[in-house]
Copies of this chain bind each other. A is one copy, B any other.
Amino acid sequence: MKIAVDAMGGDYAPEEVVKGVEAARDRYSQLEFQVFGDEAAIQNCLQSSDRITLVPTSEVITMGEEPVKAVKQKKDSSLVQAAQAVANGEADAVFSAGNTGAILTAAIFIVGRIKGVDRPALASALPAYGGPHKSFVLMDMGANAENKAAHLYQYSILGSFYAKEVLGYDHPRVRLLNNGGEEDKGDDVHKAAHQLMKQSGFVNFLGNVEAREILEGTADVVVADGFSGNTALKAIEGTALTTMGQLKTAITAGGLRGKLGALFLKPALKSLKNEMNFNEQGGAVVLGVKAPVVKAHGSSKAVAVANAMGQIQTMVQEDLTGKSAAFIAENRAALKGKKE
């Protein structure tokens, strides 16, 4: 099993990416890597080339670049070449910690959409504070600014496959992020999507979920349109950070008493901080394309990179994309839904 790695994406590239690849190589005996990027820079931090092939590339897509233009023009960039390796059948999956828009563009236009999927989406596992499982899948986190009901229905299928094959949940519980619990809530797109999921024989649909309950573990897959999925995710991250910041402020304002309390609570506060740090919970996955494409957070260090490789291994082993594609091929007519 071979993973094509964009070694030049992310705040700590290529050092931490290469370190992460080596850690994953030592941890997972079946993994091989094609590492794309600046030859000298990678050689400089690579300890051993066992099961790692370095593929030199001459260009880098940076964080601020306009995604579609960058992917089109920088043919010899580490990201484009890594995606091309998967398209050519030389590798099984793509990893990058770089420009999210460029990764999505490369996934859709180079790796290619699964036939029958209109709009691939960005999915991520977030912590569930309650319910039977430790995490749930949120998608679309923002690959799309606008969605139709049929897209949301397709997400409920893709998300169910991910929850089942990668997270190992039987009959994953699916909910639709909406502005109310009742089935007549939301705009026309959400009303129609609700009906498509409800009438589906495949999706284990439990109805709408409001953003207030999103972290409570009442669903294994939360389906959202890209705009509000992105809004919810960012509001969650921002509020968690703000609350932690306010806690610090309140402790500091408490003077000596606050300092003593903080000393006693140090382990508790540290575990809370880890719990609320959504960035280290693994990579985001582009679902709906022909091979696993995983995007780690830009600030990923070696451990996060290695964890993402483990996640990719599971996706390839379980043939996530193959199973999703086969199901979608068999059910294409139904999946087109009523266009809204």
Contact = CB atoms under 8 A, between A and B. Distances in A.
B213 A238 contact: yes
A226 B226 CA distance: 16
A45 interface: no
A76 to B, nearest CB: 27
Contacts of A186: 145, 227
A284 to B, nearest CB: 15
Nearest to A271: B250
Interface stretch (A106-114, A261-269, A328-336): A261-269
Interface in A9-64: none
A261 B259 CA distance: 9
B185 A212 contact: no
Nearest to A251: B268
Nearest to A141: B179
Interface residues of A, number: 58
Contacts of A254: 264-265, 267-268
Contacts of A257: 264-265, 267
Contact of A212 (B179, B234, B251): B234
B245 A268 contact: no
A302 interface: no
B227 A235 contact: no
Contact of A240 (B211, B239, B245): B239
Contacts of A145: 179, 185-187, 190
B246 A247 contact: no
Contacts of A267: 254, 257
A68 interface: no
A232 B227 CA distance: 11
Contacts of A242: 129, 215-216
A230 interface: yes
Nearest 5 pairs between A and B by C-beta?
A: A261-B264, A261-B265, A235-B235, A211-B234, A212-B238
